[in-house]
Amino acid sequence: MVAAAAAAAAGVEGNVEFIRARSDKREYRRVVLPNALECLLISDADTDKAAACMEVGVGSFSDPEGLEGLAHFLEHMLFYASEKYPGEQDYTKYITEHGGSCNAFTSSETTNFYFDVNVANFEEALDRFAQFFIKPLMSEDAVLREIKAVDSEHKKNLLSDGWRMYQLQKHLASKDHPYHKFSTGSWETLETKPKQRGLDIRQELLKFYENYSANLMHLVVYGKENLDCIQSCVDRLFSDIKNTDQRSFKCPGRPLSEEHLQLIVKAIPISEGDYLKISWPVTPDLHFYKEGPCRYLSHLIGHEGEGSIFHIIKELGWAMNLSAGEGSDSAEYSFFSISMRLTDAGHEHMEDIVGLVFKYIILLKENGIHEWIFDELVAINETEFHYQDKVHPISYVTDTVSTMRLFPPEEWLVGASLPSKYAPNRINMVLDELSAERVRILWKSKKFKGSTDSVEPWYSTAYSVENITPSTIKEWIQKAPTEKLHIPKPNIFIPKDLSLKEMLEKVKFPVILRKTPLSQLWYKPDTLFSTPKVHIIIDFHCPLSSHSPEAVVSTSLFVDLLEDYLNAYAYDARIAGLFYSIDRTSAGFQVSVGGYNDKMRILLDAIMKHISNFEVKPNRFCALKETAVKDYKNFNFCQPYSQASYYLSLILEDQKWPLFEKLEALSKLDSDTLAKFIPHLLSKTFLECYIHGNIEPNEATSIVQEIEDTIFNTPNSVFKSMHPSQYLIKRVIMLENELKCYYQIEGLNQKNENSSVVQYIQVHLDDALSNIKLQLFSLIASQPAFNQLRTVEQLGYIAGLSLRSDCGVCALEVVIQSTVKDPSHLDARVDAFFKMFESKIHELSDKDFKRNVESLIDSKLEKFKNLWEESHFYWGEIEAGTLKFDRVESEVALLRELRKEEFIEFFDQYIRVGAPQRKTVSVQVFGGKHLAEFKAAIAEVDPPKTYRITDIFGFKRSRPLYPSLKGGPGRITMD
C-alpha cells in the first residue's frame, strides 16, 4: 500500500508487464494520477471507436438504512448535467450524435459508467464523462423526474421472475447483512418514506455523492492515439476528481447464517414452468483463482455428456436443462448453484433429483481429483485466451475494469481466466462445502398455489420455507436412481492444429464456388483476422415448413428434438470452443457451426447424420412438447411492449400464424403425427451453404459434397430436391399513404399495470439512397425522442425511437411502455413529438447537417471486429437475397453527395405527421391500470384518415404486398 501511495503522489506510470493474448496487438499502460485514480490506458491503432469505463467502488450495499436504491438513483442522476456542461442531456446528446452509446449499472459493491463514440470525438466526449465525477449539478427539478424513472424501472421488474427470485433469496438472509437489502429503489423508498422522515432526498443524494472519491475509482480508456497522447488527455481531464480518501466498502462476511441453510424454499413464479436451484455458500474462487477449484467442479457437475447428472435426469424425462457454477456479487462470499428446468414428471421426482446430485458429489469425493481433467481445462482455457476474438471497445473496457479492483496489475487483462496450479486440496475443500449441512434449495412452481404461507415484501412473491435435515437428504440419496454416474471421458474436440491456411487469392466478397440442383455454396476465406476459426451455415430451405400452424410447430419440435439428441455428444465440442445451433427459420431450418476449424468436420458430420437418420423418440417428444406448450403460454406474461411488437409483426407479415393457433396445433400434436410429418417436410429441400474462415476452397467444396451425399444420396433418404418454383418467400404488406391504422387490445396479463404503444412508420423497400436518409433521420431524432418522451414527459422507463426492417422493408418505430398514461395518450404524445421535431429538421443548420452525415459515415465505416461480425453481415445479404456485399461503400458514397434539401424533402414526404406518403400503424396494448381507457377507446368514433383494425387477417388480405428481395435457387447472383 505504501508503494501505491507513493506512486499516486508522484503521478507516475507503473511499468507493468501485462500477461496478454498472443493475438493481441494493442498497447497498454498503467497510470496512477496524483489524486490516486488508477487507470489502464489502451492504444489500438486499428480502432474506429473509442471507449471508456469508470468503476466506482460504491454500490447498493452502501445505501444508507431506509434509503434503499440511493446508489442506483445517483447513477441515474449523474447523466443529467454538470457545472461545465449545464445543458440537460449534454453528455448523452453528444455521444449519440457522434455514433456512440452510453449506459451504467449499479451492482452490490460498485457502480459502472461507460460509453463509446467515434474516435474523432473522443476527447470531447471524455471531458463530458469526466464531469460526472467532478461537479455534477443534480438539480431539484431533475431529482423528482428521475425518481419517477427509477420507479418506472422498478414497476417494469415487478412481474419478472428473475428479479422476484433474486430478491427472495436476498430476503432469506441475515437482516444485518447488506445482501438482504432491496437495491433498485422505488417511489416509496426515494420519495414517500424519506419525506415522512423529514429528509430532503436531494441533500441525501449530495451527501451520498461524497463517497465518490478518486481513491475508490478505476478507469479504463481505449483510444486510437498513442499511449502518451491518451495519458496526457486523461491526466488533464480526470485529475480534478477529488480524493477524499474514503475507505472502500468492506463486506461483513457471509450473508447466510445457520438458520438460512438446510432449507427448501417453495416459491410461486409468474410464468409457467417448474425450476429447481440447489445452492451452497462456498469460498469464492477469487481467493484461489490460480487453482480454480469452483471452475473444476462446475465443469464436472454441470457436464451434459454421458454419465453426467443432466444426462441421466434428461433420459428419465425429468429436466430440460442444467447449469452449474459459482456466482457472487462480492469478493467476500460466493454461492455454488445447480439450476435446472424441470418437467412435470421432474417436479414429482424432486427428491430423486436432489439425491442424484448428492450421489454425484459423493462420487467425486470417492473417485478423487484427476490431474488430467485439470490439464484438459488448462489447455481449453489457454487456447480460448490466446485466440480470443476481438470485441467492441465498449465491451472490452467494461470487462477489463472489473479486474482492476481484484487482481494485481500484470493480471488485469487475464483476470481469473487462466488457472494453472493443480491443487487437489483446494478442490476437495470446496467439495466438502457442498454438503447436506450447508444446502438450500429454491423450488419454484405454480403447483404451490394455495400452499404457501409467506410473502416477500418488495415483489410480493408468495413462498413457504421448510427445514431439510442431512438425514432426510441421506434417505433421498439412497432412493435416487441407480443409473451409472461417471466422470466424463477425455474430450476429443480439443483442437490440436491451430495453423493458418495459406490463402492464395485475397477474395474481398463471398463467391459462389459450387451450384447443383440440391445446393449452392457461398465461400469467403478469412483475409482479415488470421485466426484458426471457421463459420459454416447450412440453410435447409423446406417450403412445407410454414404453410400452416401445424407445419410451423411440427418443424419447431423437429429442430428442438435434433438439438436434444445431439446434446450429449456435442457438449464436449462446446466446451472445446466449437459452437453449434439448429434453428427454425421462416422457410425451414438452419444449422450453424463455428469455432476452431481443426475438429469442425467431426461435429458437422455428426449433426448431418443425426438429421439424416432422425427418428422421433416418444419419451423426449413428450418432454419437449410439454416445455414448448409452457413457453407459448408464457407469452401472456411478457412485457406489454413485447406483446405490442408481436401484434405488429402479425399485422405486417403475410405468412405469420397467430400464437393461439400454434398453441392449439401443438396441443393436438402427437409423436406419430410428427414422425409422419418429417419425411413430408424434407421431401422438398434446397441447401443454401455459406463457409467463411480459415478454410481452403477445395475443402469447402468437399464439405458440401459430403453433406449432399449424407442427406440426399443414401438409399433410404427422405430428402428430395426442390423445384425453383417451390421457393418460399416471406413478404410484407404495404400500408396506405396518409392513413393511420391502429390496433387496440387488452394486455394478456391484467395483473401487469404497464401499457404500451408501438408506433410504426413504414417508409421504403431496401434502396441505398432511401436507406441513408432514413438512417440519418434516426441518428438525428433518437436521442431527442428519448429525452422528450422519457426524461421530460416521464411517460415511462422504456421509451425510444429506432430503425426497423422486415424482409427488407425499412421503417421507423417508436416504443413506449408506461403505467402513467394509457396507450392512446402515449400515441398522441408520439405524434406531438414528430410535430415538434418538424421545425428542428427544417431549421437544421448546414453545420449540424454535415456533422450528422459525418457521424453516420464514421459509423458505417467501422471495421468488423471479428470473423463472426463479418460473417453475419455477408450471410445477412445472402439470406435477404439483396447480395449487396458492397453496401457500406455504396451507401457511404451516396452520403458524401447527399444535400440537406434532399434530406428535408424526404422527411416531408414520408415521416412528418400529415406527409403525403406517411404510412403508419399504431399498436396499443392496454394494461391492467388502463381498462377504463380501453373501453372508452374502442367506443370512440374513428377520426378522418384513420382506420381501426379489428380483424388482423381480413386487414392483411385487403392490402397489397411489397415485392420480395429474394428469388429462388435460380436467382441472378454476383458470380
Residue of 38, 55, 68, 75 marked active site: 75
Sheet holding 519-525, edge to edge: 511-515, 519-525, 686-693, 533-541, 588-596, 578-585
C-alpha separations of 670 from 552, 624, 664, 763, 917 in Å: 14, 12, 12, 44, 49
Q: What is the CA radius of gyration of the chain?
A: 29
SS3 readout for 863-914: CCCCHHHHHHHHHHHHHHCCCCCCHHHHHHHHHHHCCHHHHHHHHHHHCCCC
> What does 198-264 look like in DSSP terms, one character per residue?
T--HHHHHHHHHTT--GGGEEEEEEESS-HHHHHHHHHHHHTTS----PPPP---S-S--GGGSSEE
Kindly give the residue spans of alpha helices, DSSP state H, lying in 325-483.
Answer: 344-348, 350-367, 371-386, 393-404, 424-433, 470-479
Is 75 tagged catalytic? yes
- The closest alpha carbon to 349, from 387, 314, 298, belongs to 314
Tell me if 537 sits within 8 A of 590, measured CB to CB.
Answer: yes
Count of CA atoms in the C-beta half-sphere (13 A) of 385: 18
- The closest alpha carbon to 186, from 148, 137, 219, 140, belongs to 148
Residue of 68, 88, 97, 146 marked active site: 146
Count of CA atoms in the C-beta half-sphere (13 A) of 720: 12
What beta strand segments (E) does 697-825 contain?
739-746, 755-765, 798-806, 809-818
- As a whole number of angstroms, the distance between CA 753 and CA 751 comes to 6
Residue position matching grid coordinates 438482504: 180
- As a whole number of angstroms, the distance between CA 752 and CA 746 comes to 11
- As a whole number of angstroms, the distance between CA 254 and CA 256 comes to 6
Q: At what angle do helices 846-860 and 90-97 cross, to 10 degrees?
A: 60
- The closest alpha carbon to 211, from 83, 57, 75, 81, belongs to 57
Tell me if 763 sits within 8 A of 911, measured CB to CB.
Answer: yes
What beta strand segments (E) does 468-518 contain?
511-515
Question: C-alpha grid cell for residue 342?
Answer: 424441470
Kindly give the residue spans of alpha helices, DSSP state H, lying in 669-767.
Answer: 671-682, 697-711
Could you count the other beta carbons within 10 Å of the beta carbon of residue 950?
A: 10
Kindly give the residue spans of alpha helices, DSSP state H, lying in 634-696.
Answer: 640-652, 659-668, 671-682
Tell me if 686 sits within 8 A of 724, measured CB to CB.
Answer: no
- As a whole number of angstroms, the distance between CA 424 and CA 296 comes to 10
- As a whole number of angstroms, the distance between CA 498 and CA 517 comes to 35
Q: At what angle do helices 350-367 and 470-479 cross, to 10 degrees?
A: 90
Is 146 tagged catalytic? yes
Cα angle value 358/361/363 (rounded, 5°): 110
Instruction: Give the DSSP H or E segment for 28.
Output: strand 27-32
Tell me if 923 sits within 8 A of 760, measured CB to CB.
Answer: yes
- As a whole number of angstroms, the distance between CA 258 and CA 657 comes to 53
- The closest alpha carbon to 349, from 312, 299, 306, 323, belongs to 312
Farthest-apart Cα atoms in the chain, separation: 84
The residues with which 241 forms a beta bridge, in sequence order, are none
Residue position matching grid coordinates 465525477: 133
Question: C-alpha grid cell for residue 284?
Answer: 469464492
8-state DSSP, 532: S
- As a whole number of angstroms, the distance between CA 38 and CA 216 comes to 9
The catalytic residue positions are: 75, 146
